[in-house]
Amino acid sequence: MTPTRGSSRLAVAAALASLYIVWGTTYLAIRIAVQSIPPFLLAGALFTIAGPILVVVVSVRGGSTKALPPARHWLSAVLVGIGLVTFGNGALM
């Protein structure tokens, strides 16, 4: 079944609306959370919670969670992760 032009526009509008709602409530939640939780602890907790959730999502969708990246990729992944938590979310929070 080929999507019609109207249904395609509706799908784009729905996707943008959900993006705005999810992204907007994320910043609202951060604003509320930093009043009682230190910013870097909050950023670390978010990533710690998000990791297992992503593993579950990948496994439910049929992806392989058994294959780990090669050892040489771990250093760059750790550096990027530290940068994201420290300068990305940490500075934001």
The tens digit of pLDDT for each residue in 35-87 reads: 999 988 888 888 889 888 988 888 888 877 667 778 888 889 889 888 887 78
Token look-up 């907790």 returns 45
Higher pLDDT, 46 or 3: 46
SS (H, E, C) the chain: CCCCHHHHHHHHHHHHHHHHHHHHHHHHHHHHHCCCCCHHHHHHHHHHHHHHHHHHHHHHCCCCCCCCCCHHHHHHHHHHHHHHHHHHHHHHC
Tell which wins on pLDDT, 25 or 1.
25
Which pTM value belongs to this model?
0.57
